[in-house]
Amino acid sequence: MSAGPESRKLRAGVVGLGWAGRQHMAAYAGSPDVELVGLAGLEAEPMQELGDQYGIAAEQRHADWHDLIAHGGLDVVSIATPTTLHAPIAVAALDAGLHVLSEKPMAENATVAQTMVDAAKRNGKVLDVSFNHRRRGDVAALKKIVDAGLLGDIYYAKAGWLRREGIPGLGSWFTRRATAGGGPLMDIGVHMLDMALHLLREPAVTSATAATYAEFGPRGRGGSPYASTGKTGVESSAYDVEDLSTAFLRLEGGGTLLLESSWAQWIPRDQCYVTLYGSEGGASIEWGGSPSDPYRSLDIWTEKDGVPAVLQPNVPPDGQHTAAVLDFVAAVLAGDVEGHQGDEALVRAAVVDACYASAEQGSEVQL
């Protein structure tokens, strides 16, 4: 279903004026079914720039997100703020009758994330979380291969996003547990967890054994060259999250998943990967984690007529944030709340919680 010539376009607002928020703005502005009508954010200069760029009326440029929700006349809102603001904004918006698309991670922990799901369900609204990396073309291609049964039963998987130097804003909200909820596991590891569980067809995670380390950030090292707030020599009190995490997850049915993520680590280069091991074949997606690294590959290892074979499937274009936003819009227009009320994202939040609990306790945690 889409908004036809006699239908009113969805009125959209975005809370958050940073990089992620700008991706949502561009996607809304490019959709024939949506009118981007409101913004909320504290930064005056970006508000002026973005408001002018998208033709946002002066009275719809809000410093306070409460005002956008109360007075914006919105149908949908995107949330691209520090993690601990996701739930307060989402719950308020859902209770006001709006549909919500939140950036990942869903919230600082699963207990808070549950309040978002509860609000979506009591109001009968769509709540999606923008896991944009599952919209990659190579992930879509591999998902078709998995679903077709080419790999057989997948019993082991590995997934990771590792950076050599990539702490996103030393001393910023990213590196404080009170505002971010955690470090790279919460920031980029959750992308890999989402991709792996998506490819594996959503097996339940039954237990987690994890460890976390902070060898770079507390010493003011490992800052990202891409972060506008990157700096060195920060006080250790401004960095109380991990900069590397590793987890061993047991899955329903006996399978296992090894998950690792880091913002800073002594490795040759940034790297991202998802590798699947099945009874009839294996597969691996790899790409350079750095925005400037064009490297990527998708390989399938199997057997054809008794002969070992390597397949390299055709890969469709990436969807990224645009696809996540348009999927959300489609669900809203179709009135399709089934499967669009945050339940999958809540599972990811619970797994991340279990990993942090295991790292703190030094023992396996059951889910």
Domain ranges of the chain: 10-133+322-339, 137-317
Is the per-residue pLDDT at 233 higher than 50? no
Reading the block at residue 338, the tokens are 């089934």
If pLDDT is split at 50, 70 and 90, which confidence band does 75 have? very high
pTM, full prediction: 0.93
Q: In the CATH scheme, what is the homologous superfamily, with its name and number, of domain 10-133+322-339?
A: NAD(P)-binding Rossmann-like Domain (3.40.50.720)
Measured in Å, how far apart are the chain's first and last C-alpha atoms?
A: 38
If pLDDT is split at 50, 70 and 90, which confidence band does 226 have? low
**For residue 86, what pLDDT is reported?**
98
Please give the average per-residue pLDDT across 17-24, as a whole number: 97
Span 282-315, pLDDT tens digits: 999 999 987 778 899 999 999 989 999 999 999 9
Please give the average per-residue pLDDT across 314-334, as a whole number: 95
CA-to-CA separations, 279 to 151, 303, 346, in angstroms, rounded: 6, 11, 30
**For residue 238, what pLDDT is reported?**
82
CA-to-CA separations, 274 to 28, 103, 156, 189, in angstroms, rounded: 30, 22, 11, 12
- Residue reference for tokens 């039954």: 206
Pick the CATH number of 137-317 from 3.30.360.10, 3.40.720.10, 3.40.50.300, 3.30.1780.10: 3.30.360.10
Burial track 80-111 (b if 16+ CB lie within 10 A, e otherwise): bbbbbbbbbbbbbbbeeebbbbbbbbbbbbbe
- Whether the Cβ atoms of residue 107 and residue 349 lie closer than 8 Å to each other: yes
CA-to-CA separations, 286 to 163, 164, 289, 343, in angstroms, rounded: 14, 16, 9, 28
Span 197-221, pLDDT tens digits: 999 999 999 999 999 999 999 999 9
